[in-house]
Amino acid sequence: MPITIDLRENALVKDLIAEVQAETEVYRQLAKEQRRQIEEQRQQAEEQRQQAEEQRQHTRAAILNLYQTLHLEPTLIATIFEISEQEVLGILEAAE
């Protein structure tokens, strides 16, 4: 006649199971915190991309304004914005 031992009733096994469950919960919480931090970083990166795009749009508008309104030369505009003349010409060509 086979003897069946229910290890779940053994106190030592119960303690080991509880310890593993506690460690598992710690890792779950750490993973949850890391996911939260990653999501925050993604949001910050997206906000920075949006701000950079807004800044590019403002810069383009200012360059066009200086060129069309004050009739400044692309070389002077490039000096003002500390960019290359080619970039200024590219912006002006894209606006046409």
Task: For 70-95, write each residue's pLDDT tens digit.
Answer: 999 999 999 999 999 999 999 999 98
Quick check: 6 pLDDT over 70? no
User: What pTM was estimated for this model as a whole?
Assistant: 0.64
DSSP state letter for 2: -
pLDDT tens for each residue of 16-28:
889 999 999 999 9
- Which residues have CB under 8 Å from 78's CB, separation 6+? 84, 85, 87, 88
Q: What's the average model confidence in pLDDT over 41-60?
A: 97
**Six-digit token string for 30:** 């750490």
Residue 80 vs residues 12, 56, 85, 87, 89: alpha-carbon distances, Å: 76, 15, 11, 13, 14
Task: Give dist(CA 40, CA 42) in Å, integer.
Answer: 5
